[in-house]
Structure 1
Amino acid sequence: MSKQLTLEQCMAFLNWQWDSNRRPVRSQIPLTKTAVTISRETGAGGHAIAVRLAECLQALSPKGSPPWTVFDRNLIEQVLEDHHLPARLAEHLPEDTSSQLDDILDDLFGLRPDSWTVVQETAETILRLAMLGHVILIGRAAAVVTARLPHVLHVRLVAPFEVRVERVQADRKLSRKEAEEVVRREDRGRARYWKRYYGADIADPLLYHLVLNTGRLSCEAAVAVIVQALRAGPASGGA
């Protein structure tokens, strides 16, 4: 369930979408170009829930429908390809670890394209994928980027700090202290990314259609709630 999707799988999705010889297929989900954004606290289970959600939505779609595809860390590979950037830049494009000082130094000394340009290019890729539909976009402030698209459902995943630390400790084979630091550092980095580039508060519940506590809900229960929300359709006008 936690397997990382490859760039080849992502490209298979894009190739299907861009094949002009295929006729559009009616989906059992109300909006045929529906997309989902997932914002998550570290350790809240974002990737596992997204992968399971994609499997469920695919099972609900008629045969021949485009594949539901998760874009998480592999979104970086898509950004690099879309904007003809060298692969080595992938290490400089995290949303959850670099500090503001790192950004400033890189911008000043030309160690990579300036951070604002990279964020803009990332937003362009997110918008393109969301407009194609049948995608689940994790992170990168996708809820803000796609806020004006009425067919996109926005989900925020949270959980108690202790629960998240235990998950990170088990998943990444870390000590308790190391896991606590990872959770704090990644949460700070994501919040800073939203604040610096979009002037938004990642924890603002009004930016989302759903805020789910995965300390209370299992992966399957969270997926069931999201699927039900997709069946009902996002509220008019988006988040």
Structure 2
Amino acid sequence: MTRSIHKMIDEQIKRWEMQKKQGVSPVDTCNVITISRQRGSRGHEVAEALAKALGFDLFDYEIVEGMIKETKDSSDRSKTLVETDRAKTLLDTLDEKKMSIVDDLIAALVHKHHLWPDEYSKILLRVLNTIGSHGNAVILGRGGNFVLKDTNALRVRIVASDDMRCKVVQKDKGLSADDAKKLMVSIDANRRAFIRRYFNADTQDPANYDLVLNTDKISVEKAVSIIQAALA
């Protein structure tokens, strides 16, 4: 994990610790948005722009995986005291009442979807529920929509046509059309496999989302406006 990710996680934990000390609780209205996306649909751009517009924190793949790694490190005696303390602090940012709610949500999710969680998925569920409990968050990927299904989170799916997605990947990665399509297909397949493995669900089932947006004709700015309207 890069030093910049360590720094971002440390800053996030400090904000949560300050909220805990001040007794700040998330409001009852929806203040968590999960975003699932197809590769090349500009979902990451939508997530970044949405977080900026709302003044929320963005939790993307690198940050969530970083939190999972550091939480896992808390049980590894070979890690330094600083690494262990950081992981412990992450889990301690919730008070006892919120932690109890998180435990109940995880138990219900595992039972409802007949999951048999391994070490990684147990930590993933706890990290995403911790983020959701603090609120003011945009969570990109990692099955956030499944983990927070029974909360007041707004679950968004960003899609686009194969042609458009291929062009976006070509431009972003500097690839030929054939190579861009292969990369797009591979990444989407890996994401579907991840969700099937850990949540026994299908990423392409629209029932798993509250809002599905096609960015073929909807700009990033328009998508952000639509999501903001759905939050009102």
Question: How high is the TM-score relative to the length of structure 1?
Answer: 0.72
Q: Which structure 1 segments of 5+ residues have no match?
A: 59-66, 87-114, 232-239
Match of 1:79 among 63, 68, 78: 68
1:61-105 deviation line (CA, Å, top 9, x unaligned)? xxxxxx53333322111111122178xxxxxxxxxxxxxxxxxxx
Partner of 2:118: 116
Could you say which residue in structure 1 is the equivalent of 2:15? 16
| 1:129-208 correspondence to structure 2 within 5 Å | 129-150=131-152, 152-208=153-209
CA contact (8 A) 2:47 2:58 kept: no
Conserved? CA contact 2:58–2:140, under 8 Å: no
Q: For this pair of structures, how many residues does the alignment match?
A: 187
Q: State the 1:155 CA deviation.
A: 0.2
Higher mean C-alpha displacement, 165-174 vs 116-125: 116-125
Change in 2 beyond 3 A, CA 1:118/1:21 = closer
Matches of 2:186 and 2:211 in 1, distance apart?
25
User: For 1:205 and 1:42, how far apart are their aligned partners in 2?
Assistant: 17
Quick check: 69-78 or 37-46, which moved more?
69-78
Q: Where does residue 96 of structure 2 map in the other structure? A: none
Per-residue deviation, 1:206: 1.0
**Partner Cα distance (1:167, 1:7) in 2:** 30
The 5-angstrom pairing of residues 227-238 of structure 1 reads: 227-231=228-232
Cα distance in 1 for partners of 2:154, 2:200 equals 21
1:50 equivalenced with 2:47 (yes/no) = yes
User: 1:15-56 CA distances to partner (integer Å, 9 max, x unpaired)?
Assistant: 1122133353887xx72x711111100011121111100110
Partner of 2:157: helix, strand, or coil?
strand
Aligned-partner Cα distance in 2 for 1:212–1:177: 26
Please say which of residues 77-86 and 181-190 is displaced more in the overlay. Answer: 77-86
Q: Deviations over 1:145-173 (max 9, x none)?
A: 111112x1100000000100110111011
Q: How far did 1:8 drift?
A: 2.1
1:51/1:70 contact within 8 Å kept: no
Query: Which structure has greater helix proportion?
Result: 2
2:58–2:138 CA contact under 8 A, matched in 1: yes
Residue 147 of structure 1: SS of its match in structure 2? coil
Equivalent-residue separation in structure 2 for 1:26 and 1:40 (angstroms): 26
CA 117–26 in structure 1, closer or farther in 2 if over 3 Å, else same:
closer
Counterparts of 1:15 and 1:47, CA distance in 2: 25
Residue identity in the other structure for 2:69:
L
SS at match of 1:9: helix
Equivalent pair of 2:68/2:123 in contact (CA under 8 Å) = yes
Give 1:27-42 correspondences, 5 Å limit.
Answer: 31=29, 34-42=31-39
Q: Distance in 2 between matches of 1:12 and 1:130?
A: 17
Tell me the secondary structure at the aligned position of residue 212 of structure 1: strand
Structure 2 CA distance for aligned equivalents of residues 218 and 11 of structure 1 = 33
CA RMSD of superposed structures (Å)? 2.2
Q: 1:148 to 1:224 in 2, by over 3 A?
A: same
Q: Unpaired segments of 5 or more residues in structure 2?
A: 77-116
